Amino acid sequence: MGGRPPDVTTTYGCSFWRGSLASKSLFFSSVRYCVGQGNNIRFWHDVWCGEEPFSLRFHNIFRFAVLKEGTVIDHMSMDANGVNWNLQVCRRNIRESETISLNALTDAISIAHIGDGDDSWE
């Protein structure tokens, strides 16, 4: 994914950088993202709308997500009316509790600010 350093997969190289890269998940878990184009922000795993990732906040919906590793742009499209969201959730019979969570997720992303520049973090 663009904007993120690669995972550490070898013991070769400078121990400082291996240690730094090994702790990147701790760093990225505390970062809040600002959506621009949405191509570098993971929809379910990054904090970009609210105070925690959607995978934790809406875990009962995340279980049925088709694109668990998809970016924000993978779940949206733009037209003359603005942003359209496609959550790509696969489940035949949705339970009442899942419907409530799905509506809460839809409400949350409907008020999210989507920019037109590059994705950033704060």
Give the tens place of pLDDT for each residue, 41-89.
999 999 999 999 999 999 999 999 999 999 999 999 888 888 899 998 8
Q: Which residues of 67-84 are buried (b: 16+ CB within 10 A; e: fewer)?
A: eeebbbbbbbeeeeeebe
Q: What is the pLDDT of residue 1?
A: 45
Rounded to 5°, angle at Cα 119 from 52 and 55? 25
Q: What is the pLDDT of residue 33?
A: 85
Q: What is the pLDDT of residue 28?
A: 57
pLDDT above 90 for 15 = no
pTM (2 d.p.) = 0.76
Per the DSSP assignment, residues forming a β-bridge with 120 are 34
